[in-house]
Structure 1
């Protein structure tokens, strides 16, 4: 004789176990992981790596008879994937880490403040982008060869724009040739620099013949004054 069960308990058991008495097939964890990884990789940059949190909660879900749908929320590198199954209806949440990396210039050996950087002081290293997100970095050693170190740096430290200073191309008191451009015509004038100048700086100079002071810009091609 079957034991008597309260009507509510009988209904709950009927919902949990099928009529045959065998447990429903559990959702395949590998299928859930594959769906989440594919969704994350579709949104991630090409060189990013995707790491998933535990998906073992899938075995508590009945096998989905419809294609799994995945939606991602949050802000990289840490996101959350919601795995939706429409038949039978359930949702499983999985943590996702999207790690993007990039080759950047780092110190190959300890550097001291005021030191002039040589090629031997630099090397390229692939690092997670979140290590230097929001800062101006360099991707080629040639970009900062000859620059001066603003602060002491340990080997392996990422070199950023605020840790180096462009080298002086013009010294105060130096006699330089200024290329003056006007209406398609270029003239050359010798002048004395009243201020030191780095690449991109605008400095004051004095024409020694007339005593007239004027401003010109320090460029990769020399000191230039454009009037047009």
Structure 2
């Protein structure tokens, strides 16, 4: 099958529907050409099989193309908010052409993330199921870093809400007792001017 600029890793399985035996084609003295104009060549497609020889012919053949790849699967149940560890996941070969959601191919991409809801063992993990870990929890004592140009001031504060990396949360400056908005920049750390 001719596909340009497409890099696919994994095992491909192609099954072609039976061709009507009443159709007669002349022998082809050149290699057959197989092409598909489908944007998504995985799943149910029609492929054009043609003979570029002196007596050219072409036929469109229905086919099913499956792509099998190693993807991240949940090894055991995961509770809502529970961080993913190496013991919770494994790589397993699956037919990704039948999946309706995105999926992960590297275990490292999901480690430390938490489930948005309860997840059952053997589930294919997708970005819709997981969220980055909370780096700041409500009530945490946090380091507040205020940056202005090359200068940086550091003080302590108390988080008034949970936050993931990049979230803007409300923090009380413990020294002045003022509420401020700051961006979560790391574990128990928030920043102003970042």
Per-residue CA deviations over 1:116-158 (Å, capped at 9, x if unaligned) read: 43321111223233344543x3333344334433333222111
Distance 1:138 1:200, change over 3 A: farther
**Change over 3 Å in CA distance of 1:53–1:42 after alignment to 2:** farther
State how far apart, in whole Å, the 1-side matches of 2:134 and 2:54 are. 70
Query: Which of 21, 28, 42 is equivalent to 1:64?
Result: 28
Comparing both structures, which one devotes a greater share of its residues to strand? 2
Give 2:145's match in structure 1, choosing from 163, 179, 185. Answer: 179
Query: Would you say the 8 A contact 1:217–1:225 is kept in 2?
Result: yes
1:190 matches 2:168: no
Residue 181 of structure 1 and its aligned partner are, at CA, apart by: 1.9
The residue matched to 2:36 in structure 1 has which SS? strand
**Comparing 116-125 and 52-61, the one that deviates more:** 52-61
Supply the distance in 2 between the matched residues of 1:166 and 1:69 (Cα, whole angstroms).
47
Aligned residue in 1 for 2:87: 120
Q: Which residue of structure 2 lines up, in the alignment, with residue 153 of structure 1? A: 119
Greater relative contact order (Cα < 8 A, sep 6+): 2
The Cα offsets for residues 67-107 of structure 1, whole Å up to 9 and x where unpaired, read as 64443233321322222336324322223433334333211
Note the C-alpha offset of 1:183: 0.5
> 3-state SS of the aligned residue for 2:97?
helix
Q: C-alpha root-mean-square deviation of aligned residues, in Å? A: 3.1
C-alpha deviation, 1:62, in angstroms? 1.6
Aligned twin of 2:16 = 53
Is the partner of 2:123 in helix, strand or coil? coil
Aligned to 2:62: 95
Normalised by the length of structure 2, the TM-score is: 0.76
Contact 1:123–1:141 (Cα < 8 Å) also in 2: yes
**2:97 equivalent to 1:130:** yes
| Mean Cα deviation higher: 139-148 or 196-205 | 139-148
Q: How far apart, in 2, do the equivalents of 1:51 and 1:151 lie?
A: 36
Structure 2 counterpart of 1:219:
185
Distance in 2, Cα, partners of 1:164 & 1:109:
15
- The whole-number CA distance in structure 2 between the counterparts of 1:95 and 1:201 is 49
Contact 2:185–2:191 at 8 Å: present in 1 too? no
Contact 1:199–1:220 (CA under 8 A) maintained in structure 2: yes
Q: CA deviation at 1:205?
A: 0.7
